[in-house]
Structure 1
Amino acid sequence: MDAGKLDRLITILALTTGQDEYGGVTETWTPIDDPVWARWMPGAGSERFAAASTYAETQGRFLIRWRSDITPQHRVAWDGREFDILDVVEIGRREGLELRVKARA
């Protein structure tokens, strides 16, 4: 993996649950570790119409160094946006990971 192309700092988020003062369950997305360096590779964007509203969707890929603790249950935070992880694909033999993501605009 070419370290010079990893030019974006992203944060991997995990869903955590807690309890509020009334005993209700709260859910928040919290970082699982320090930010990691990544390469952003934009994909196709799209628009769709549902429930009398138009939704824009951005898809792309983040390439990062190998980690064993990232799954599609996590999210990626970058540039003020949060991306759902659709798929995690191994690059080479534990050389890196390709995180296929989407975000709604």
Structure 2
Amino acid sequence: MPGAGKLDRKITIRRFTSVPNEFNEPVETWSDFLPNIWARREDVSDGEKFAAGQVGSSLRSRFVIRSSTASRTVTPVDRLVHEGSTYNIHGVKETKEGRRRFIEITAVKDND
């Protein structure tokens, strides 16, 4: 798995938040939770789907990041942004490198 030199990409983890506006009404938005963190990316699979007469394609990737107190709170409710593309997180787990060294995030982006 990765050593420090193999983390050669920058990603941002975004989290859905709700903040009040000037009328104290909740405004829901995606905000940067972990901005510009180093990661390693490995594309796992790509695919096409045909539904209701439409064609779509997607790319499944694995991103490995350093484990930290904040990165251990990442869940599939969050989103990942890499090179201008937004990925939906499908899974988060600790790698086999040893306890609390690295986190592996499996994420999918739609190519449509």
Normalised-by-shorter TM-score class: 0.7 to 0.9
Q: What is the distance in 1 between the residues matched to 2:51 and 2:20?
A: 33
Q: Report the TM-score when normalising by structure 1.
A: 0.88
User: Runs of 5+ in structure 1 lacking a partner?
Assistant: none
Q: Is 2:75 the counterpart of 1:74?
A: no
Q: Report the TM-score when normalising by structure 2.
A: 0.83
SS in 2 for 1:4: helix
Which residue does 1:29 correspond to in 2?
30
SS in 1 for 2:35: coil
C-alpha displacement of 1:21:
7.7
C-alpha displacement of 1:38:
0.1
Query: Quick one: which amino acid aligns to residue 88 of structure 2?
Result: D
Aligned residues: 105
Q: What is the distance in 2 between the residues matched to 1:27 and 1:83?
A: 19
- Percent of aligned pairs sharing the same letter: 34
Q: Is 2:104 the counterpart of 1:104?
A: no
Q: What is the distance in 2 between the residues matched to 1:6 and 1:38?
A: 4
User: Runs of 5+ in structure 2 lacking a partner?
Assistant: none
Q: What is the distance in 2 between the residues matched to 1:56 and 1:19?
A: 37
CA RMSD in angstroms, aligned pairs only: 1.9
Which residue does 2:64 correspond to in 1?
63
Moved segments of 4+, more than 4 Å:
18-26
Alignment of 1:5-16 (within 5 A): 5-16=6-17
